[in-house]
Structure 1
Amino acid sequence: MVVQSIKNEIIKSTADRNKRYSRNGEQDVGYGSVYGSTSDVNSPDYDPMIDIMELFDSPTALVDVNQLLKYTSAYESQLQAEIQKKRTEYRQMLIESGPDEGIDVLDGEVMKLLDSFQNMKSLAEVTGNTINSMTANIKTLDQSKKNLTFTMTTLKRLQMLITAYDRLDKQLEKQKQVKNYSEIKQLLGAVLELNEYFQDFKSIDEVNRLNKLISAMKNQIINDIFKDFEFEFNEELVNDKLIDACHILEILGDAYKEQLQTWYINTALKAITQIFRSSEEAGSLDNLSRRFIYFQNTLTNFETKHLSLFPRSWHMSLKLTEKFCSYTKNDLKEVLSKESRVKNSVDVNILLNSLSQTLDFESFLNKKFKYYKDFDEQLKNAEAPSFTKSISDVFEPYLNIWIDHQSSTIEKKLIEFTNPSRMFQKTGEGIADDDAKRSDESLNVLESAAELFRIYRQILSQLSKLTKGKALIRLSIIFSKYLMQYQHKILDAILPDSKSLISVDLKSQQEGIDIISLVLNTADYCSQTVLQLEEKIKALIEPEELSAQVEFEGPNNGFLQLIIYCINLLFYKIENDIQISWRELSNFNWKVLNEVTGESRYLGSLKSIIREDCQLVFKKVSKIIYIRNLIDKLVEMLLRNIILNIVKLEPISVIMAEQFKLDLQELKSFINILPTLTEGGDKILSSSSFKSSINTKFKNIDNLMKVLMVPSKPMDAFINSYFSIIGDSSFSNFMKVLQLKGVLKTEATEKDKFRYMDMFKLQLGSFEETNNDVNGQLKESNEYLENLNVTSTTTTIRKTHGHTKSNSRSIYLPSTVTGTSSNSTSSNFGSTVESDATSPVPPEPPVPVNPGGSPNVGADGTASKGNFGFFNGPKIDTYTLLNTKDNLEKNFAKSFSESKGTFNENFRKFFKRGE
């Protein structure tokens, strides 16, 4: 059916064509007449060429071949389906008509169908062969066209290359003197680009010859550019197009660009390298400043005359400066090596002067090129170049000479500080501005200490610009050495003898307090500044692992020792002044006391002396923390001495107990107002820890007085009062209270003791049954009474933890130094104190690290720990001592944890002022 439709279309198109021929007066001759065959597909003489020629009447019709083949294939499939359908129909028909008739009809139809299929297959083969023959010719024609197009393009480009080469050659011939490199750049760019196309045609002689001519011309242009730059440098030629010549070199390759840069930089620096050669006199360290000035003039001359000849992206000013720095560094290395080898040492003055000049020159370069970073896209966001240490690091191997010189400078300063006119000068003295003077004097610090650390900062700042390595460690050792010398030669030297504090001369006492306070404040300032100095040096050192070798523990511990000693000296003065009050207390006849009318006489004198001394001391001490420490030590000492004197008055009557309780209340009120004697005392009063500490320290002795105020009879009521007030179930503590009241003598019989024990146990059980709640439970033992040892001849307050007798060298040291660890009660009464040992013992001065003032230096070059006398035990916790307020208060509160144990009365005097 489909073929029939195609056939109909062919017949229709043939009829149309015949009509056209008839209209045009031509003979109507079809393909059928030509081949002598018919176009009827059902005809035995059917010629398929007629239909094929009709379908493919032009080469453009071949584009439909695939569609026709697809259509033919589909038609074949359709025929197969129709055959299958017909076969089914015939089979059904045969079944219906009969066996014989059906078989005959079926055989006839099958034969027709097979003939039709064979005819169609032959037609398809003929059609495929015809189409392949026609397309082969078309492909050949298309390839020929491509070859022709490529040949024409190549010849056209060759013509363009020859034309550009000729124009460039004429341009070079025409411009013999001053070349227009702008035009040459354009023509050369075109020639090189076109010539790149013909690199694959070098096998052709003509093309190879042209390539050689172009290479020769390129070399000629390069030579002309270098000659023109040389003429320009020698001022023999002026050509404002040389910047285009630089762009030509960029086109030709980076090697030519770098060659021109190197040539120009070497030529510009040639005079410097010849004049300031390391072997010449001008190249010595004495003439280093002349070298820098000469280069600055060279750089200025270049930027004025020749900078515009180079593209900005070349950064010629920067490259010229970097090359000069490299030349200078190498020359200085040779000069320094030669001088150290010939003279065994470089003159320190010349070295320092050269180093200073180099640092100034590097600073000048850094400022000049500070914004030199936005000339092209690659450097647009880059940081500005840095010339720090570009030359000066050549001096680093010789920095020990410089450090030794700084050491001698510091030593001379220490000698100046020992001058009597400067030894006691405080910060602010000599300042014209009164306001500034008053502000500095409020620090009450020696001016020499502030000046010493100013020198340290200057030296460290200079050295940190040169190195970040081991030289800083060596410098830290020098700093540590002279800090210890400063403590020994200045601070220790001006401290007064402890005897001057108890002198009859009030002027000497006042002067002693002033000096001690001055030394205390200065030592505190030095200790804090030393820690800051250590952190600063550690932060500068690279690599970071080396920073562990920097330590100022030696000098810092020395200053802390001095702080403790000064506080002990001030406390010793107060403690000695109030001895008259204790004598007044012990000499009073307490047995005749009948009633309580007011505070005792001894208490009035005690408060008067303490107030007077505190007013003198507090206004001189700059740190509130040290005033707080003095008050805490004072409270402990007062309570310790009061209980010692009370115990000696055994038996204690009810009236006596009432009087002492009143005295303690008055004393507590007085203590609470002591901070108001100094500016900033409100900080102490507002501190909850201060109030809590005072209340805790007074509570124990106050409770003891309350028990002693209770009548001893009836005994059961007295025992219940003991349970309620003291709150413990210790019979031994109860026996001490009975002894103080005089109820039970020391020589009491065992029978009496057992009788009181039975009563105590009976009342204890009754008390616990009555007060069976948690709050009513009794402690096993009251620590205060447990440490209280009551005898008829000697009263001691035993220490529960630690040693029973303390070392006389450490009675004034905090627990962090002595290594003791005790609670608040045991720290208050930490040593065995005899009743006749009420006189204060002066503190021993700190032992200097090294009498010569020099630190011990180990084999590795680092400062080893010195011998700090009685501080040779556990080291001081410097962080806790000075940086944490609460711990600082706690540590200083323990500084008198042990009272006045056995001490060598023939103590050695440390030194006298003026020696």
Structure 2
Amino acid sequence: MCFFSSQVKEITRDIKQLDHAKRHLTTSITTLNHLHMLAGGVDSLEAMTRKRQYGEVANLLQGVVNVLEHFYKYMGITQIRQLSERVKAAQSELGTQILADFDEAFPSQGSKRPGGPSNVLRDACLVANVLDPRIKQEIIKKFIRQHLSEYLVLFQENQDAAWLDKIDRRYAWIKRQLVDYEEKYGRMFPEEWCMTERIAVEFCHISRVELAKVMRTRAREIEVKLLLFAIQRTTNFEGLLAKRFTGGTLTDKRPESPLEPTNPFLEDDPGEDVSYPELPKKPKPADNPFHGIISKCFEPHLYVYIESQDKNLGELINRFVADFRAQGPPKAGTEEGGAVLPSCADLFVYYKKCMVQCSQLSTGEPMIALTTIFQKFLREYAWKILSGNLPKSTSNSGGLTISSLLKEKEAPEAAKFTVDELCLICSILSTAEYCLATTQQLEEKLKEKVDKLLVERINLTGEMDTFSTVISNSIQLLVQDLDAACDPALTAMSKMPWQSVEHVGDQSPYVTSIIMHIKQNVPIIRDNLASTRKYFTQFCIKFTNAFIPKFINHLFRCKPVSMVGAEQLLLDTHSLKTVLLDLPSIGSQVLRKAPASYTKIVVKGMTRAEMILKVVMAPHEPPVVFVDNYIKLLADGNPETFQKILDMKGLKRSEQSSMLELFRQRLPTPPSGADGPSLSFSTPTPEQESSRIRKLEKLIKKRL
């Protein structure tokens, strides 16, 4: 058994030795074959190099280099090291020889260029792909430099063709050169070298430098139309490059998609007229890698454009002022009445064109400068066209005179603003609202166009506040006009002998006067603010907030007031309350419910006036009941208000003193920490009111 086991081990050992020997033998044979291939390849490479057989060299050289990689670990062997040095020498000789061949074929000066591509040079390019990358770069550099040498001569700074008005000639020249290149040399260079694009890119770099140089020298000759013409032609050319090329050479990356076989440079650009355009016709493509490659040189001179826009906008504002003076304000009773002034639309259309144009030229500091110009003329428009044309309020109050009111006669005078003036105020208000909304949109668009780092410098809040001020001033003028028209009537009310009124009749003449002015003004204002309903609501609210306190103040001036006089005043107050509640839709064929916020103001204010009169109508005996009734009806803990009520009732000073003392005693005790009495509003029950109050309410209901 042991004998059998030892035999197995010996056999296994022999097999392992044979396998090891076989592997070494195979490796040795493979290495010898590689060595034979390397030695033969180096000999062939040297021979082919001398004969300039670049087509065969291109394939052989790559194989020799690949085989040589297997011998890197044997570089200590003299023969292997010598072969490696011979390969390097062959590569160096090939590089020098190929560069010399290109120099001979495309000399910088002297002999003419050959008429067509050379097969030898085409194969040499394939060899250059295998050699040191610097050889390829040198070939490309020399060829492009030689190809563009004529351009530098034709368009050098002192030549007439170098100026901006001849800029089309530059782009026409390169188009011809690219067509010529593709016809003669398109197949000589490998496609992946992207030689056509490289020529175009180098042309762009040279043009940017040369144009910048000539513009610095002749800066005083640059006019805005000439500058815009040059920029338009340049951006058009950059757009043309984007259609033809991928821009891969701009980042030293190979294009991911194959180039189009057609050449758009063979096509003429549509619409290439020689007139100077006011605005560029074509917008910048969003994904154009060539945008700015030439046109960047114009940016330092865009101050000419900004100054031009400053001048143009100044002239535009002056024209708006002159047109307004010549044509006058919008006429009442026409479609123009209360409409937005057409000049503001013209202004923002021009702004939009300027913004789009400037964003094509630059999205940097020039956009900030243009924004400053925009701000300047937005303010000027608000001052000269809007605020400057608002009618001036006068001290003469229209409406009824006191004597005519006392005689219960109506006067024909209208409010101090004419219908045309009211229409103008509404038109200016609507225009200011349009400008406010459009300025906000303008700010958003400017922030979209400008560089991200400059977004924070775009701020038109001040200009929006200016238009808001115009709106507020316009509403205030409308309110003051109607409010002032009602003043004579309120004054007449306070001058009437309310103590001698013998019976309650129809509404008083002063109420008729107030209602007349409301019916005259409000429909005009509402119709002219139809497009800005919220501002009409603001007008109604502001007028009510101004009129009701003034009406209550004049009520307090009506003293003394008899019981019948108070009943007449209560009837008048109810009539005014009804009119005020209907104010937003008064005189309108379309019945529209007044806003809840407005109704609340009217109800609260006029109810207080009614409560004042109800307190005046109540008997002051017994005093405790009178004081408690006052506190419940008015919920006003101010002694001055109570004093005014006593004056209206015509009480003597001695009676008033005791009443005031009782009033202070009957006030509810304020809660801890409160500054004064907290009185809750409480509507009196019919049992608490006098018979005269109930009689008056029945009379009012009957009249309604």
TM-score greater than 0.5 by the shorter chain: yes
Aligned-pair CA distance for 1:576: 3.6
Q: Map 1:115-194 onto structure 2 (within 5 A).
A: 151-165=28-42, 181=55, 183-194=56-67
**Does 1:780 pair with 2:692?**
no
Partner of 1:116: none
Following the alignment from structure 1 to structure 2, what is the Cα–Cα distance between the partners of residues 502 and 723?
38
Distance in 2, Cα, partners of 1:686 & 1:370: 64
Name 2:319's counterpart in structure 1. Answer: 416
Distance between the aligned counterparts of 2:675 and 2:306, measured in 1?
69
- TM-score, normalised on structure 2? 0.75
Tell me, yes or no, if structure 1 residue 483 matches structure 2 residue 483.
no
2:543 aligned residue: 634
Distance 1:427 1:362 in 2: 48
Distance 2:601 2:228 in 1: 58
**Correspondent of 2:390 among 473, 492, 495:** 495
CA distance in structure 1 between the aligned counterparts of 2:245 and 2:305, rounded to whole angstroms: 30
In the TM superposition, residue 400 of structure 1 has moved relative to its aligned partner by 1.9
Deviation at 1:331, TM superposition (A): 0.8
Q: Cα 1:633–1:692, aligned 2, differ >3 Å: closer, same or farther?
A: same
1:527 matched residue in structure 2: 436
Q: 1:297 to 1:421 in 2, by over 3 A?
A: farther
Deviation of the 1:627 alpha carbon: 1.5
Give, in angstroms, the shift of residue 619 of structure 1: 2.0
Which residue of 464, 467, 482 maps to 2:362? 467
Q: 1:327 Cα deviation (Å)?
A: 0.8
Indicate how the Cα distance of structure 1 residues 223 and 760 shifts in structure 2: closer, same or farther if over 3 A, else same.
Answer: closer
Give the Cα–Cα distance (whole angstroms) in 2 for the partners of residues 649 and 474 of structure 1.
63
CA distance in 1, matches of 2:588, 2:141: 73
Give the Cα separation in 1 of the matches to 2:470 and 2:96. 81
Say if 1:427 and 1:447, in contact at 8 Å, map to a contact too: no
Which of the residues 465, 469, 490 maps onto 1:582? Answer: 490
Q: 3-state SS of the aligned residue for 1:419?
A: helix
Q: CA 1:397 to 1:731, structure 2 compared with 1: closer, same or farther past 3 Å?
A: closer
* AA matched with 1:462: Q
Residues 675-730 of structure 1, C-alpha deviation per residue, up to 9 Å, x if partnerless? 225999988x4633222222222232222123223222333332332232123555
Pair 1:365 & 2:238 matched: no
Alignment match, 2:477: 569
* Separation of aligned partners in 2, 1:57 and 1:651: 144
| Aligned counterpart, 1:451 | 346
CA displacement 1:542-568 (0-9 Å, x = unmatched): 464x55555546544544443333333
> For structure 2, which runs of at least 5 residues remain unmatched after alignment?
107-111, 259-285, 399-412, 682-704
CA spacing shift, 1:308–1:513, aligned 2, 3 Å: farther
1:610 offset after TM fit, Å? Answer: 0.9
Distance 1:599 1:368, change over 3 A: farther
CA distance in 1, matches of 2:495, 2:301: 75
**1:593 lines up with 2:501 in the alignment:** yes
Contact 2:246 2:255 in 1 (8 A): no
Cα distance in 2 for residues equivalent to 1:57 and 1:687: 112
CA distance in 1, matches of 2:149, 2:558: 103
C-alpha distance in 2 between matches for 1:623 and 1:295? 58
Could you say if the C-alpha distance between residues 762 and 644 of structure 1 is closer, same or farther in structure 2, counting changes exceeding 3 Å?
closer
- Rate the CA distance shift 1:352–1:473 in 2: closer, same or farther, 3 A: same
Q: Does 1:697 align with 2:605?
A: yes
User: How far 1:332 sits from its partner (Å)?
Assistant: 1.6
In the aligned structure 2, how far is the partner of 1:464 from the partner of 1:155?
69
Equivalent of 2:11 in 37, 57, 60: 60
State how far apart, in whole Å, the 2-side matches of 1:714 and 1:550 are: 71
- Identify the residue that residue 138 of structure 2 maps to in structure 1: 259
Distance 2:631 2:417 in 1: 53
| Counterpart pick for 2:522 among 614, 618, 629 | 614
Query: Per the alignment, do residues 758 and 646 of structure 1 end up closer, same or farther by CA in structure 2, a change over 3 Å counting?
Result: closer
1:352-431 mapped onto 2 (5 Å cutoff): 352-369=228-245, 380=256, 386-420=289-323, 424=327
Rounded to whole Å, the distance in 1 between the matches of 2:451 and 2:90 is 56
- Equivalent positions of 1:797-876 (< 5 A) are none
Alpha-carbon distance in structure 2 between the residues aligned to 1:700 and 1:243: 103
What residue number does 2:403 align with?
none
Query: 1:387: Cα distance to partner?
Result: 1.9
Per-residue deviation at 1:348?
4.0
Supply the distance in 1 between the matched residues of 2:174 and 2:462 (Cα, whole angstroms): 49
1:409-433 Cα deviation digits (max 9, x unpaired)? 21222232233477658899xxxxx
Identity %: 25
Q: Which residue identity is paired with 2:606?
A: F
Instruction: Write the distance in 2 (CA, Å) between the matches of 1:523 and 1:697.
Output: 31
Which residue matches 1:273?
A: 152
Q: Confirm whether residue 657 of structure 1 aligns to residue 566 of structure 2.
A: yes
- Separation in structure 2 between the aligned mates of residue 379 and residue 370 of structure 1, nearest angstrom: 6
Q: Distance in 1 between matches of 2:240 and 2:61?
A: 43
What CA deviation, in whole Å up to 9, does each residue of 1:767-790 have, x standing for no partner? x9xxx9x9xx99716799xxxxxx
Equivalent AA in structure 2 for residue 297 of structure 1: R
Give the distance between the partners of 1:480 and 1:61, measured in 2 at CA. 98
Name the CA distance, whole Å, in 2 between partners of 1:612 and 1:57. 129
Q: Distance in 2 between matches of 1:726 and 1:781?
A: 12
Q: Structure 1 residues 494 and 734 mapped into 2: Cα distance closer, same or farther (>3 Å)?
A: closer
Query: In the aligned structure 2, how far is the partner of 1:216 from the partner of 1:475?
Result: 63
Matches within 5 A, 1:646-685: 646-676=555-585, 685=593
- What is the match of residue 338 of structure 1? 217
Instruction: For 2:675 and 2:33, locate their aligned partners in 1 and report how far apart those are by CA, in whole Å.
Output: 120
Determine the structure 2 residue equivalent to 1:713.
Answer: 621
Q: Residues of 2 paired with 1:474 and 1:425: CA distance?
A: 34
Give the letter for the 1:563 counterpart: I
Compared with structure 1, are the counterparts of its residues 674 and 756 closer, same or farther at alpha carbon in structure 2 (3 Å cutoff)? closer
TM value normalised by structure 1: 0.59
CA distance in 2, matches of 1:602, 1:513: 23
Rounded to whole Å, the distance in 2 between the matches of 1:462 and 1:488 is: 27
Note the alpha carbon deviations across 1:93-113, whole angstroms, 9 max, x for none: xxxxxxxxxxxxxxxxxxxxx
* 2: CA distance, partners of 1:485 / 1:608: 39
Taking structure 1 as reference, are residues 732 and 630 closer, same or farther at Cα in structure 2, changes over 3 Å only? closer
1:876 paired residue number = none
Matching residue of 1:854? none
Say yes or no: does 1:316 pair with 2:211: no
Change (3 A) 1:317 1:656: farther
Superposed CA RMSD: 4.6
1:632 Cα deviation after fit: 2.0
Residue 285 (structure 1) aligns with: 164
Aligned partners of 1:56 and 1:62 also within 8 Å: no
Q: Which has the larger radius of gyration?
A: 1
Alpha-carbon distance, 1:448 to partner:
2.0
Matching residue's letter, 2:427: L
Contact 1:651 1:741 in 2 (8 A): yes
Match 1:299 to one of 175, 178, 193: 178
Change (3 A) 1:589 1:189: same
Secondary structure at the aligned position of 1:389 is classed as: coil
Q: Is the Cα contact below 8 Å between 1:313 and 1:376 reproduced in 2?
A: no
Instruction: Tell me the equivalent position of 1:836.
Output: none
| Secondary structure at the counterpart of residue 711 of structure 1 | coil
How far apart are residue 291 of structure 1 and its match? 0.8
| Cα distance, 1:153–1:372 mapped onto 2, change above 3 Å | closer
Among residues 26, 43, 68, which one is paired with 1:195 in the alignment?
68
